[in-house]
Amino acid sequence: MANKTWWNSRLNTDLQKYGNLKSTAKRAVAAAKDQYYQTLYDQLDTPLGENNMYRLAKSHHRSTEDIGHVMHIKEADDNLLRDRQSIPQSWTDYFHNISNKEFTHPPNPIVGPDPSITPEEVMLAISKMKNGKAAVSNDLPAEIWKILGKPASEFLASLFKRIIVEKQLSQAWTSSITLHSGREKET
């Protein structure tokens, strides 16, 4: 409630009130946890506490497993699995089946030559480019293409159309170079 009051008013007094209440609540939770763990450790020192120790170890082991909350699943034939060992095996079988089974592909909706690239599509793509970025150090940054506007989009559209027709890219576009910036992380 104090959080809502501060959020609505944005006054420093409400913020201080909220901070005080929050730290008081944290202290109360910490004290309750401390008391609970103290009684738990006292119980573990008794002969009956040995069972509790095994129960805690089993609980800890289950919390480290990947499948923590799956209690049951249905198989493809609608059988309900509840055994902890059979659930991962069922998943393995299912994913093996869908990964290795060939399925029918929908027919290709494009009939004939590829649709042409329009200057408007190129302008839209240029407008989405981030400023200050270039593919490699000798390429033109996005700002230049944005400044050139319509003539640049027409040039690029014709270039892309030629690449599609010839089905061949420039050698410079098919190779990439990674440059080290020279900056080292300080340890």
pLDDT band at 4 (very low <50, low <70, confident <90, very high): confident
Q: For position 84, what pLDDT does the model report?
A: 76
> Between β-strands 73-74 and 80-81, what pairing exists: parallel, antiparallel or unpaired?
antiparallel
Cα 26 to Cα 23, 115, 124: the distances in Å are: 5, 63, 52
- d(C-alpha 34, C-alpha 41), whole Å: 11
**What are φ and ψ of residue 54, in 5° steps?**
-65, -40
Could you report the per-residue pLDDT of 79-124, keeping only the tens digit for each? 888 887 788 888 888 888 888 887 777 776 666 666 678 899 888 9
**CB neighbours of 86 closer than 8 A, spacing ≥ 6?**
none
Of the listed ranges 14-23, 52-61, 127-136, 146-155, the one predicted with least confidence: 127-136
Q: For position 178, what pLDDT does the model report?
A: 59
> What percent of the chain has a predicted confidence (pLDDT) above 90?
9
Name the residue with higher pLDDT: 71 or 95.
95
- d(C-alpha 22, C-alpha 20), whole Å: 5
Domains of the chain: which residue ranges? Answer: 2-64, 67-98, 119-171
- Mean pLDDT in the chain? 79
- d(C-alpha 74, C-alpha 113), whole Å: 47
Answer whether residue 55 shows pLDDT above 60.
Answer: yes
pLDDT band at 187 (very low <50, low <70, confident <90, very high): very low
Answer whether residue 27 shows pLDDT above 70.
Answer: yes
- pTM (2 d.p.): 0.34
Answer whether residue 67 shows pLDDT above 50.
Answer: yes
**CB neighbours of 134 closer than 8 A, spacing ≥ 6?**
140, 141, 142
Helix (H) or strand (E) holding 99: helix 86-100
Answer whether residue 152 shows pLDDT above 90.
Answer: no
Give the Cβ contact number of residue 145 at 10 Å. Answer: 19
**CB neighbours of 62 closer than 8 A, spacing ≥ 6?**
68
Q: For position 161, what pLDDT does the model report?
A: 85
Residue type at 158 in one-letter notation: S
- d(C-alpha 157, C-alpha 117), whole Å: 6
Answer whether residue 185 shows pLDDT above 70.
Answer: no
**What are φ and ψ of residue 107, in 5° steps?**
-65, 150
Name the residue with higher pLDDT: 41 or 175.
41
> Residue 86: which of 72, 66, 98 has the closest Cα?
72
Q: Is 81 helix (H, G, I), strand (E, B) or coil?
A: strand
